[in-house]
Chains A and B, each alone.
Chain A
Amino acid sequence: MSEARIVIVGAGPAGVRAAEALVNHGLAPIVIDEAPAAGGQIYRRPPAGFARPARVLYGFEAAKAQRLHAAFEALRPRLDYRPDTLAWNVSEGSLWTQRSGTIERIPFDRLILCTGAMDRVIPLPGWTLPGAFTLGGAQVALKAQGCAVGRRTVFFGTGPLLYLVAHQIAAAGATVAAVLDTSRARDSWHALAGLVAVPTTALKGAWYQLDLVLRRTPWHRGIRPLAVMGRDRVEGVRFRDANGTEREIACDAVAFGYGLKPETQLAELAGAAFAYDGAGLWLPRVDPAGRLAPNVYAAGDGCGILGADAAELAGRRAGLAVAADLGRTVPPREIAGIERRRSAIRAFRAGLEVAFPTPTELAATLPDATILCRCEGATVGALRTVANHKDAGEINQAKALCRVGMGRCQGRVCGFAACQVLAAARGVSVEAVGRLRAQAPVKPLPLAARLP
């Protein structure tokens, strides 16, 4: 009898721990990853030849990063590991990949999607100027290449990443011109009950904020960003402070974001059902073990944002679920231990949502002339026009009529804000306008790529 073919997409915290659980049960998965080295976004490794120590790259998380990298290296002999490989479709019981111009169809018995997350973006005037980055993009430049995105950078938005990346850029020697948080100080106090569920992580967050104060970095809470300014590139940021006063800060780069959103395209193509989370995101429905659709599993931030520690646990849980579903014996105690730790992280995460609420109203109040979909150059006003004058009440219908979300990224960047704009223009809930349907390829696919 031939061994079941198990394919894991993603070699971040969830994917690595899923692979480990399978190998521990004598199974040998295929691991597909877009990056050249395992670790995911959070524990991304620099290219060969870069010799920056883990302590510098990962800060407080250095030990976790090194443990994950070491775990993966130990698994390598038992894995069919395929780095630099794009998984672009799930169809006909197969995963479709592309690497260096070669397309492959990989039929699977079981598929585990560990596709992670990306920045949640809310556009504003000037956000497409050179020098404007997402928080995650700024962090990737730093981790992968040791580059700061500017000499004087303003960080704005909200969420833990706002403080982490500002801290990392400052520690790397660049100037943090200001940190502008849309959440208010009192939001943090309201969140305490949840945050104490994982006190070590809460303390790290507090330390990043304290570090800002020690460095005398201008720090405002309860702000509303108004515009990224500049003619040909970023020259400053205009915002309204908590007292309602408009202010400007000069800078040569901005990094902004409002938390993360899951990467769900492959899950959708694999047949996932989706549920609205009540806060602007549609999440694939999974059972506690990560079962998503027949023979398809998902784990990590791709199912909803819980962070890297939870992703490691969910990955292990999904790996064990596959092993159990293939007839291997998994001790219930092991599952119970994972679930206990996951529920503590969920409580902490709920606290974070209170501490850093997503300012969903920002998109709805953007000026008409603001670029909403940067791939297609479609404005907020174009979307409002089809909502008001062409009776487009659903986001895919609106996309067809005004091109928002129709470009290279297929709405991965603008989709969140586009739904907010459409819902406000129609006077309905965000849930009522639906979600952008995923279509293959989930990322651009070279037309020259060929099946062998």
Chain B
Amino acid sequence: MTGTMATDVCIIGGGIAGCSAALHLAKRGISVVLLEKGRIGAQASGVNFGGVRRQGRHLAEIPLALRGRPMWDRMVDLVGEDCEFRATGHLRLARDPADMAALETYARDAGALGLDLELIGGNELRRRFPWLSEVPVGASWCPGDGQANPRVVGPAFGRAARAAGADLREGEEAATFERDGKGFRIATTSGLAITSRALVNTAGAWAGRVAGHFDEPVPIHSIAPQMVVTEPSPHVIGPVLGIVGGALYLRQIERGNVIFGGGDGLADIATTRSTVLPRNTVEVGALACRLIPHLARLNVIRVWTGIEGEMADVIPVIGPSRTTPGLFHAFGFSGHGFQLGPIVGVILAELIADGTTPSPIAPFDIGRFVG
């Protein structure tokens, strides 16, 4: 497509954060063009595990996760469907006393920030969740956390943003960026040119390239978290499971399929190809069976992965550029951005429209990598 379009805001990247930003900007009457090089919600937003979790996060993320949590209850109002969100609770398992001590410390620190967690000993754990093996010695329980279907969330936000008036373009890859006194000029590989007053970088694993265009290099690399889904079986595993250290995360959907993840495949942002390493699948499957013995009777029907950006310090970049007025970043969610995506879009809209946000985003300042 060729031609020049003028807009208030141009967003690079149609994941959940980008589409939520488009939705919340459009609702404020601000014009938006979103450029997605592939399809809406196809990369990290669409192929992730689907955990909607606050516990276990870096403490700096807790205020954002708490603020974002009610959005998941209001998905029907927000985007027209519930996105299969269920507040099933999240159970974080400890496999030895050192892990349990880590859970105790975390519960105290998170509690101070307003996230109440319940610590559960081994006997009580097996009384409440009798399908667990003897391996876990205890757990931390967060009843308000849950799960949703990642494949439908990004597209739902995309449709809602379009309905609110945002112009979302799929298959449009931003190739060049210029900044002058009035704003930005972006050209895509297909020849589309856009002028905008503000620019939003929600390009996930590809966001380092966008930041690089504005002399703002960041320590980001690509990861490919591996997922597995089994055939359906009777629904007995209610909560989402994690373990201290993060080697396994697991949930069972109402249809009965067990979905779990762990380990990294190969990611290549040049070709947008990611590859599952079969050995990881087998090893993570073995760990899942050690924790939940009845899984050993099931068959794996599919594995997958996708490309995600991970920062050197494993927390995202969120906030205004330090080199370029009018440029805003939100990327590098490092494998745990699904729950945050909707609220990050709200925060971006606040930063652009109001010039400020009530959320404490200082820890995510891109300036932390300078010097």
Q: Which residues of A contact B (CB under 8 A)?
A: 89, 91-92, 96, 103, 105, 376, 390-391, 394, 397, 400-401, 406-408, 410, 439-441, 444-451
Contact B296–A447 (Cβ < 8 Å): yes
By beta carbon, the residue of chain A nearest B162 is A391
A92 vs B277: C-alpha distance when bound (angstroms): 8
Sample 10 A-B pairs with CB under 8 A, ordered by A number.
Answer: A91-B276, A91-B277, A92-B277, A105-B278, A376-B255, A391-B155, A407-B231, A407-B301, A447-B288, A447-B300
B304 within 8 A of A: yes
By beta carbon, the residue of chain A nearest B149 is A400
| The residue from A91, A408, A446 contacting B278, defined by CB atoms under 8 A apart | A91
Contact A91–B275 (Cβ < 8 Å): yes
User: A400 and B231 in contact (CB under 8 A), knowing A439-B304, A440-B303?
Assistant: no
Contact A401–B300 (Cβ < 8 Å): no
Distance from B278 Cβ to chain A, minimum over Cβ atoms (Å): 5
By beta carbon, the residue of chain A nearest B170 is A391
Contact B303–A439 (Cβ < 8 Å): yes
By beta carbon, the residue of chain B nearest A377 is B255
Contact A444–B231 (Cβ < 8 Å): yes
Distance from B244 Cβ to chain A, minimum over Cβ atoms (Å): 23
Q: Collect the chain B residues with CB atoms within 8 Å of residue A401's CB.
A: 151-152, 155
B182 within 8 A of A: no
B209 within 8 A of A: no
Q: Mark B112-126, 1 if CB is under 8 A from A, else 0.
A: 000000000000000
By beta carbon, the residue of chain B nearest A437 is B304
Known A-B contacts: A447-B289, A449-B282. Give 17 more (CB < 8 A). Answer: A91-B277, A92-B278, A96-B278, A376-B255, A390-B159, A391-B159, A401-B152, A407-B301, A410-B301, A439-B304, A441-B303, A444-B299, A446-B298, A446-B300, A447-B230, A447-B295, A448-B297
Q: Which of B196-238 contact A (CB under 8 A)?
A: 230-231
Contact A441–B301 (Cβ < 8 Å): yes
A446 vs B301: C-alpha distance when bound (angstroms): 9
Distance from A382 Cβ to chain B, minimum over Cβ atoms (Å): 13
Q: Which of B231-282 contact A (CB under 8 A)?
A: 231, 255, 275-279, 281-282
B285 within 8 A of A: yes
Q: Collect the chain B residues with CB atoms within 8 Å of residue A390's CB.
A: 155, 159
Q: Collect the chain B residues with CB atoms within 8 Å of residue A92's CB.
A: 277-278
User: A89 and B278 in contact (CB under 8 A), knowing A401-B155, A410-B301, A444-B300?
Assistant: yes
| The residue from B230, B255, B286, B298 contacting A450, defined by CB atoms under 8 A apart | B286
Q: Collect the chain B residues with CB atoms within 8 Å of residue A376's CB.
A: 255
By beta carbon, the residue of chain B nearest A444 is B299
Contact B301–A408 (Cβ < 8 Å): yes
Distance from A34 Cβ to chain B, minimum over Cβ atoms (Å): 15
A243 vs B59: C-alpha distance when bound (angstroms): 74
By beta carbon, the residue of chain B nearest A391 is B159
Contact B300–A441 (Cβ < 8 Å): yes
B46 within 8 A of A: yes
| The residue from B152, B288, B302 contacting A400, defined by CB atoms under 8 A apart | B152
By beta carbon, the residue of chain B nearest A439 is B302
Q: Mark B146-181, 1 if CB is under 8 A from A, else 0.
A: 000001100100010000000000000000000000
Distance from A9 Cβ to chain B, minimum over Cβ atoms (Å): 16
B39 within 8 A of A: yes
Distance from A418 Cβ to chain B, minimum over Cβ atoms (Å): 16
Distance from B143 Cβ to chain A, minimum over Cβ atoms (Å): 28
A410 vs B231: C-alpha distance when bound (angstroms): 11
Q: Collect the chain A residues with CB atoms within 8 Å of residue B282's CB.
A: 103, 449-451
Q: Which of B278-318 contact A (CB under 8 A)?
A: 278-279, 281-282, 285-286, 288-289, 295-304
Contact B298–A447 (Cβ < 8 Å): yes
Distance from B23 Cβ to chain A, minimum over Cβ atoms (Å): 16
Q: Collect the chain A residues with CB atoms within 8 Å of residue B275's CB.
A: 91
Contact A445–B155 (Cβ < 8 Å): no
By beta carbon, the residue of chain B nearest A400 is B151
Q: Which 7 pairs between the two chains have the least Cβ-Cβ distance?
A: A444-B299, A400-B151, A448-B296, A445-B300, A447-B285, A447-B298, A439-B302
By beta carbon, the residue of chain A nearest B305 is A439
Contact B299–A445 (Cβ < 8 Å): yes
A394 vs B38: C-alpha distance when bound (angstroms): 12
A446 vs B289: C-alpha distance when bound (angstroms): 11
| The residue from A400, A406, A441 contacting B46, defined by CB atoms under 8 A apart | A400
By beta carbon, the residue of chain A nearest B265 is A91
Q: Collect the chain B residues with CB atoms within 8 Å of residue A89's CB.
A: 278
Contact A440–B276 (Cβ < 8 Å): yes
Contact B277–A444 (Cβ < 8 Å): no
A102 vs B205: C-alpha distance when bound (angstroms): 36
A96 vs B298: C-alpha distance when bound (angstroms): 19
A400 vs B158: C-alpha distance when bound (angstroms): 15
Q: Collect the chain A residues with CB atoms within 8 Å of residue B301's CB.
A: 407-408, 410, 441, 444
Q: Collect the chain A residues with CB atoms within 8 Å of residue B39's CB.
A: 394, 397
Q: Collect the chain B residues with CB atoms within 8 Å of residue A441's CB.
A: 300-303
Q: Collect the chain A residues with CB atoms within 8 Å of residue B231's CB.
A: 407-408, 444
Q: Collect the chain A residues with CB atoms within 8 Å of residue B286's CB.
A: 450
A96 vs B279: C-alpha distance when bound (angstroms): 10
By beta carbon, the residue of chain A nearest B228 is A447
By beta carbon, the residue of chain B nearest A409 is B301
A160 vs B300: C-alpha distance when bound (angstroms): 35
A103 vs B279: C-alpha distance when bound (angstroms): 10
User: A451 and B279 in contact (CB under 8 A), knowing A400-B46, A444-B301, A445-B300?
Assistant: yes
By beta carbon, the residue of chain B nearest A88 is B278
By beta carbon, the residue of chain B nearest A449 is B282
Q: Which of B275, B285, B289, B301 has the most A CB atoms < 10 Å from its CB?
A: B301
Q: Collect the chain B residues with CB atoms within 8 Å of residue A439's CB.
A: 276, 302-304
| The residue from A391, A440, A447, A450 contacting B299, defined by CB atoms under 8 A apart | A447
Distance from B355 Cβ to chain A, minimum over Cβ atoms (Å): 34
A441 vs B302: C-alpha distance when bound (angstroms): 6
A444 vs B228: C-alpha distance when bound (angstroms): 12
Distance from A90 Cβ to chain B, minimum over Cβ atoms (Å): 10
Q: Collect the chain A residues with CB atoms within 8 Å of residue B303's CB.
A: 439-441
Q: Collect the chain A residues with CB atoms within 8 Å of residue B277's CB.
A: 91-92
A441 vs B286: C-alpha distance when bound (angstroms): 16
Distance from B227 Cβ to chain A, minimum over Cβ atoms (Å): 10
A442 vs B304: C-alpha distance when bound (angstroms): 12
A103 vs B288: C-alpha distance when bound (angstroms): 17
Distance from A108 Cβ to chain B, minimum over Cβ atoms (Å): 15
Q: Collect the chain B residues with CB atoms within 8 Å of residue A440's CB.
A: 276, 278, 281, 302-303
Distance from B302 Cβ to chain A, minimum over Cβ atoms (Å): 5
User: A446 and B299 in contact (CB under 8 A), knowing A400-B46, A400-B152, A401-B155?
Assistant: yes
Q: Collect the chain B residues with CB atoms within 8 Å of residue A447's CB.
A: 230, 285, 288-289, 295-300
A408 vs B39: C-alpha distance when bound (angstroms): 26
A11 vs B303: C-alpha distance when bound (angstroms): 27
A401 vs B150: C-alpha distance when bound (angstroms): 10
Q: Collect the chain A residues with CB atoms within 8 Å of residue B288's CB.
A: 447
A440 vs B228: C-alpha distance when bound (angstroms): 10
